[in-house]
DNA sequence: CACCAGGACTCGG
DNA sequence: CCGAGTCATGGT
């Protein structure tokens, strides 16, 4: 009988567990995690090993409980903790963001309304890029439905106490999937092609999170990513923001962002791209956080 | 019923 | 380079 394994991570100052929980709760059709009470349960994949973890919060610490029977090496435990840190973006110091927001008419109110909210991450590269592709053009609720179908058709699962928890499909599985099976999920043919192409590029090592992270700046990464079919400026910036954690990432064409800016500024129309370039200069390293906070006004 | 959704590709000028 | 059409489906 193995005892349940537990680990703890101290959270930084500018952290409000409830704000992050509220963000995770905003979409009831989400398939990548479940929330019961004040606890988040999800699967994490480390070295091809599926780990079921439950996250809770107490007195400035995140508690990570491992629910399934796995034996982890020290190195794997370290990777798991890094995953959780990345998920909540714990290593970033948000003081400069709130400093900036205090003097910014657009950010002032949202920053205090959602104080302690972290830019929740999608650490897995294939998941992040797939989610970007799925989210193109269609309504968010439909995108969540497509993701659920994709995950429940091609992902692996862990059952625990009558609940089912899913891991996102691996690039290998999607690369080998039959086009007909992908089409049956009601993705457009183009999106199926994009997903398979990306999966194959990852499998062959032609693209990787590590390689993109080693690039000099967001412009270089964006230029490299947008050469891939199906990845335009929006998707590239979305992935840079949620997965690569580049503060300057800024999906300036994002409809949600434009609508939020319109509301906050009381504009008659959506803001122009030139006004977004101005915001990019003002917000610098905090474009991603600004976007994430503004999204919270809508969803 | 028309229109738009957390876009990007394709093709004609 | 630039504008218009196309894509799948679901919600309003």
| pLDDT at residue A1, as a whole number | 46
pLDDT tens-place string over residues A20-56: 999 999 999 999 999 999 999 999 999 999 999 999 9
Whether the CB-CB separation of A279 and A293 falls below 8 Å is answered with: no
pLDDT tens-place string over residues A103-122: 999 999 999 999 999 999 99
* CB-strand contact A272/C, under 7 Å: no
What domains sit in chain A, N to C, each tagged with a CATH number?
5-89 (3.30.310.20)
pLDDT at A251 over 80: yes
Q: What's phi and psi for A166, nearest 5 deg?
A: -110, 145
| pLDDT at residue A5, as a whole number | 94
Report residue A4's pLDDT band, with 50, 70 and 90 as the boundaries.
Answer: confident
| pLDDT at residue A98, as a whole number | 98
Q: Which nucleotide is nearest to A187 (CA to C1')?
A: C8
Report residue A3's pLDDT band, with 50, 70 and 90 as the boundaries.
Answer: low
Question: Which 3 state secondary structure label does DSSP give A178?
Answer: coil
Whether the CB-CB separation of A135 and A147 falls below 8 Å is answered with: no
pLDDT at A263 over 50: yes
Question: What's the mean pLDDT in A221-228?
Answer: 97
Whether the CB-CB separation of A73 and A58 falls below 8 Å is answered with: no
pLDDT tens-place string over residues A278-292: 999 999 999 999 999
* Cα–Cα distance for residue pair A261/A106, rounded to 1 Å: 8
Whether the CB-CB separation of A250 and A237 falls below 8 Å is answered with: yes
Question: Catalytic residue at A104?
Answer: no
Q: In the structure, how far is the CA atom of residue A224 from the C1' atom of nucleotide B2, in angstroms?
A: 38
Q: In the structure, how far is the CA atom of residue A236 from the C1' atom of nucleotide C2, in angstroms?
A: 22
Question: What's the mean pLDDT in A159-188?
Answer: 97
């Amino acid at each position: 009988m193995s005892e349940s394994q537990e680990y703890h991570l101290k959270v930084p100052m500018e952290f409000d567990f409830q704000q992050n929980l509220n963000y995770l709760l905003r979409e009831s059709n989400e398939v990548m995690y479940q929330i019961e009470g004040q606890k988040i349960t999800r699967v994490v994949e480390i070295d091809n090993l599926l780990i079921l973890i439950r996250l809770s919060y107490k007195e400035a610490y995140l508690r990570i409980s491992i629910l399934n029977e796995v034996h982890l090496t020290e190195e794997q435990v370290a990777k798991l903790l890094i995953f959780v840190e990345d998920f909540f973006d714990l290593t970033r110091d948000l003081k400069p963001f709130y400093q900036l927001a205090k003097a910014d008419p657009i950010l002032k109110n949202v920053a205090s309304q959602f104080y302690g909210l972290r830019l929740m991450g999608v650490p897995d590269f294939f998941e992040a890029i797939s989610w970007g592709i799925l989210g193109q053009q269609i309504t968010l609720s439909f995108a969540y439905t497509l993701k659920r179908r994709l995950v429940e058709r091609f992902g692996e699962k862990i059952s625990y106490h009558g609940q089912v928890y899913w891991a996102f499909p691996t690039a290998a599985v999607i690369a080998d999937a039959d086009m007909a099976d992908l089409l049956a999920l009601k993705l457009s043919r183009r999106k199926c092609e994009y997903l398979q192409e990306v999966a194959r590029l990852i499998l062959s090592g032609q693209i990787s999170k590590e390689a993109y992270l080693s690039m000099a700046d967001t412009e270089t990464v964006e230029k490299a990513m947008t050469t891939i079919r199906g990845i335009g400026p929006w998707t590239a910036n979305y992935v840079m923001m949620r997965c690569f954690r580049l503060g300057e990432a800024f999906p300036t064409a994002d409809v949600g962002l434009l609508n939020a800016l319109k509301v906050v500024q009381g504009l008659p129309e959506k803001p122009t791209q030139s006004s977004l370039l101005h915001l990019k200069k003002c917000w610098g390293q905090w474009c991603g956080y600004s976007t994430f906070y503004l999204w919270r006004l809508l969803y």
